[in-house]
Structure 1
Amino acid sequence: MTTRRRFLQLSAATAAATATAAMPRAFAGPGQKIPTLTYGVQLYMLRKQAATDLPGVFRAIHDAGFAQVELYPIAYREPAQHLRTLIADSGLQPSVSGHFDYLGLEAKLDYAHTLGLKYFVCPMIPKDQWETLAGFKKAADFFNKIGQGAKDRGMEFTFHNHCYEFKPLDGTTGWNVLMKETDPALVKLELDCYWLTQGGQNPMSILRDHKDRAVLLHLKDRIANSPVSFDMGTPQHFTELGKGNIDWPGILAQGYKQGIRYAFLDQDGTTIPIPESMKISADYLHSL
């Protein structure tokens, strides 16, 4: 377990290594094989540390070599303007995206707008709606409503997938219901490539099939030969970028071609200290 002191020590070591390497914040560089996206980290990856040291977490993300933090509800205890200041003071760019709980979406629209977010993201629908097509239809109707509210405030409402959406249900899937019943002009997609793969999907195919919706990417690698599963509770197979079997050069290049400009590291669990894990993934992205 990483203590707060150890976390800060590791963050300082990561900062020193990053400064030595002089890593550009958007990973631009001569000879790059893929176009430049702007990369960030989803705050959920550091949720335990963020509960007690939000400014330190923002600095750790910056020091690992990332330009953005994608916000998560633990940060919203801060007034919007103060949160913007904390992000700026860390050296990060103003956040463009944030995750908000399904049940609090409508109440957080104005807060997200004050934060200056472009993407207003719902990361998951309630578990009691996963098991029936009617549950997904209910979510779709709600998403259309929230999507209009976001659009009225100059934002794009965006849904983040997991694997449960691809579980067969009565000859179809919850994913198909969501795609059929939501308005592409109001409901966009943040494609999590790990969870797509766990759900038996090809991230590249999903990306191409939803050119009109895909606006963000989530990045974490998946250990080779891990089984397909629709169960969020089973042991997961997360690993740092470049250490698994997901085709990141192809996905990132295709995403850029389709107009995606932001992608966020979101490794839910690590077997090494989080600052080290972030640095490994940042270095991999920098190498592309």
Structure 2
Amino acid sequence: MPTRRDFLRLSALATAAGCTLGRIPSAFAADSPFIYGVQLYMVRKEAPQDLPGILHAIRQVGFTQIELFPIVYTHPAPELRRIVADSGLGLVSAHFDYASVPTKIDYAHQLGLEYMVCPMIPKDQWNLDGFHKAADDFNTWGRSVHDAGMQFVFHNHCYEFSPQATTTDGATTGFDELMKHTDPALVKLEFDMYWLAQAGQDPLTMLTRYANRVSLLHLKDRIANAPTGFVMGPTAKHITEMGKGTLNWPAIFAEAHKQGIRYAYLDQDDTTLPILDSLKENFAYLQTIKA
């Protein structure tokens, strides 16, 4: 259980976010079909210092789910599951490094997950052969994850959309190859709306095109007039709070609702606001969405 020190830290965090410990705001707009959560990467600086405290603060803002990130896998699965439950947050999804996926299936099962997400293909595989290897791995892992009662999911960025060498079928991208060579029943998608737009893709079009694949959403907005590209790093960071950028969230959520997508995770990699102020502002915007 959280200690008194955890409670005091939480009090300070919640105060910074403009919340009180005695009242938890509505988890989502009354007519919203979505369950909103936070990807733990967003609080990667705070989580190692006080995981119970930051989870409680996230819950106080109003989010009802957390999506885990590998920085917390030093905890045994039963202990980590308890920490999350004690915070009042739900847990159905978590990210696992590419190389660790096959070794973490039992750990994920012990956490009670529904989704095991691979967030990134190793950089030395960002070529045609590398994407084909990833597709083979995803099919293998997808079968094992499925047999363990979960779903394997891949999370996109922008590098996958870089043009690759022309194949016998014409020009292609890494993303095209992944979709072509993976089993739709075993390999699903967590579409990050920002990174789709950063790659020059239209998020709504992509969401519609891959309706049979998308299980989860990642949320962050993109500032106006920012250049697109396929290179990861600081030059690709044009991120802002939801509602302050250019993405058409009402249309995106309307399509996601039509597809039956339930879980949407805030994953604002960097913030100019203090982290909990950013969480609060994003959550307030989500309350305005009427799907």
TM-score, scaled to structure 1: 0.92
* Kept in 2: contact 1:18–1:65 (CA 8 A): no
Distance change in 2, residues 1:6/1:246 (3 Å): farther
Distance apart, 1:8 and its partner CA: 6.3
Corresponding residue number in structure 1 for 2:36:
39
- Give the secondary-structure state (helix, strand or coil) at the position aligned to 1:50: coil
Segment of structure 1 superposing worse, 240-249 or 11-20: 11-20
Equivalent of residue 142 in structure 2, options 119, 140, 147: 147
Corresponding residue number in structure 2 for 1:203:
203
Give yes or no for the alignment of 1:162 onto 2:157: yes
Distance apart, 1:53 and its partner CA: 1.0
Distance apart, 1:54 and its partner CA: 0.9
Distance apart, 1:14 and its partner CA: 2.3
Distance apart, 1:10 and its partner CA: 3.8
* Kept in 2: contact 1:15–1:63 (CA 8 A): no
Distance apart, 1:18 and its partner CA: 8.6
Structure 1 runs (4+) deviating above 4 angstroms are 4-8, 17-20
Distance apart, 1:11 and its partner CA: 2.8
Which aligned pairs between 1:1-288 and structure 2 lie closer than 5 A? 9-14=12-17, 16=19, 23-25=25-27, 27-29=28-30, 32=31, 35-93=32-90, 95-130=91-126, 132-170=127-165, 171-235=171-235, 236-288=237-289
- Give the secondary-structure state (helix, strand or coil) at the position aligned to 2:38: strand
Distance change in 2, residues 1:96/1:205 (3 Å): same
Corresponding residue number in structure 1 for 2:168:
none
The percent identity for this pair of structures is: 56
Matched to 2:178, the amino acid is L
Distance apart, 1:183 and its partner CA: 0.3
Matched to 1:179, the amino acid is M
- Give the secondary-structure state (helix, strand or coil) at the position aligned to 1:176: helix
Distance apart, 1:164 and its partner CA: 0.3
* Kept in 2: contact 1:207–1:255 (CA 8 A): yes
* Kept in 1: contact 2:36–2:263 (CA 8 A): yes
- Give the secondary-structure state (helix, strand or coil) at the position aligned to 1:154: coil
Matched to 1:76, the amino acid is Y
Distance apart, 1:17 and its partner CA: 5.7
* Kept in 1: contact 2:9–2:53 (CA 8 A): no
Distance change in 2, residues 1:126/1:91 (3 Å): same
Q: Distance in 2 between matches of 1:8 and 1:240?
A: 24
Q: Distance in 2 between matches of 1:116 and 1:41?
A: 18
Please tell me the root mean square deviation across aligned C-alpha atoms, in Å: 1.8
Matched to 2:284, the amino acid is D
Distance apart, 1:272 and its partner CA: 1.0
* Kept in 2: contact 1:200–1:228 (CA 8 A): yes
Q: Distance in 2 between matches of 1:16 and 1:261?
A: 26
TM-score, scaled to structure 2: 0.91
Q: What do residues 148-178 of structure 1 show as CA deviations (whole Å, max 9, x unaligned)?
A: 0110011000000000000111221000000
Q: Distance in 2 between matches of 1:178 and 1:8?
A: 45
Distance change in 2, residues 1:61/1:129 (3 Å): same
Distance apart, 1:12 and its partner CA: 2.8
Q: Distance in 1 between matches of 2:38 and 2:286?
A: 13
Q: What do residues 249-271 of structure 1 show as CA deviations (whole Å, max 9, x unaligned)?
A: 11112111101000000000000
Q: Distance in 2 between matches of 1:92 and 1:10?
A: 16
Structure 1 unmatched runs, 5+ = none
Q: What do residues 95-122 of structure 1 show as CA deviations (whole Å, max 9, x unaligned)?
A: 0000000011100000000100001000
- Give the secondary-structure state (helix, strand or coil) at the position aligned to 1:179: helix
Structure 2 unmatched runs, 5+ = 1-5, 166-170
Matched to 2:268, the amino acid is Q
